[in-house]
Amino acid sequence: MSPFPTVAAFEAALDSLSQPDMAAREAATARQGQLTKPPRSLGRLEDIAIFLAGWQGVERPRITNGRAVIFAGNHGVVARGVSAFPAAVTAQMVANFAAGGAAINALAAAAGLALSVVPLDLDRPTADFTTAPAMSEAECLAALSAGAEAVGDADLLVLGEMGIGNTTPAAALAAASFGGTPALWVGPGTGVDADGLSRKAQVVTDGLERHRPHLTSPFEILRRLGGREIAAMAGAVLAARLKRIPVVLDGFIGTAAVAPLATANPDITAHCLAGHCSAEPGHTLLLARLGLEPILSLNMRLGEASGAAVAVAVIRSALAAHDGMATFAEAGVSGA
């Protein structure tokens, strides 16, 4: 059976989020206090280890089944001139992923992550959301379910996307979820010039004006303004939460996928780490609205889960220190 067969099922899942194991968090916090270092001297690495302990439900968490999943989809709004690349590049890049030639192939391997790619009806782009809802109800539910089904039994889930033109729906989702002018949220994406940036802002304005009376729920925001790969990431985040699997978000688009869910339940990001802050201007603002602090800031804006994959090296370092260091008692070192 589909994970989200109806809108009511999706909304019920969003209303019944699992919570971390507080006993495991407390045990991990106590362990951090016993390790041979001054308190808080490893800074954010300590927080990351405790975060993983709570969601994995163990004092000494590990990543033995880390997985990166890339969802791919095409967008009808590309016809409005919002991208520097043609829509055909989406399928071409999916082929590149399969051949092992993309950045995420190299970065996932370096991070010790299994990689899977889920193309979603690439020959059937979403509708241009300035003239109609991007997806029908059935199409959006199918995309949400495809995301949920891709989660599997990972113990750390890294999410990414591929979809030419998808920074435009991402900006529309951010604006619909958190307000602000379209100009606040749009950015260069694949590298559009000033005219392209102006077109993007106008497209987002047109989409918001057309759908505003209906943007009253996470589902309607996603289906009217989003895309299949964006809805799939939202479904994956929600399914991972129900399974208490920690998630590493990537850039602006992946983070925007969570924004509509946060309008109904702001706690949706409690099991998420922001892998990095991308160079897309709206990402910094979006992370702040969701209460997420990025692990890295490397001026990246590729997508494909590339920044999140690089951040996994930091997460692994946090767990290595947490698990591998001796306590003061074990080392025979005097404590403070």
Residues with active-site annotation: 304
For tokens 């089904």, what's the residue? 149
Euclidean distance between CA atoms 75 and 127, whole angstroms: 7
CB under 8 Å, gap of 24 or more: what pairs does 1-10 form? 2/141, 2/142, 2/145, 3/144, 3/145, 3/148, 3/149, 3/235, 3/239, 4/141, 4/144, 4/145, 4/148, 4/235, 5/141, 5/145, 6/141, 7/137, 7/141, 7/219, 10/141, 10/144, 10/219, 10/238
Name the residue among 227, 228, 275 with its Cα closest to residue 255.
275
For tokens 């979006």, what's the residue? 286
Across 254-276, b (16+ Cβ under 10 Å) vs e yields bbbbbbbbbbebeebbbbbbbbb
Name the residue among 200, 195, 224, 190 with its Cα closest to residue 89.
190
Euclidean distance between CA atoms 170 and 318, whole angstroms: 31
For tokens 């479904």, what's the residue? 235
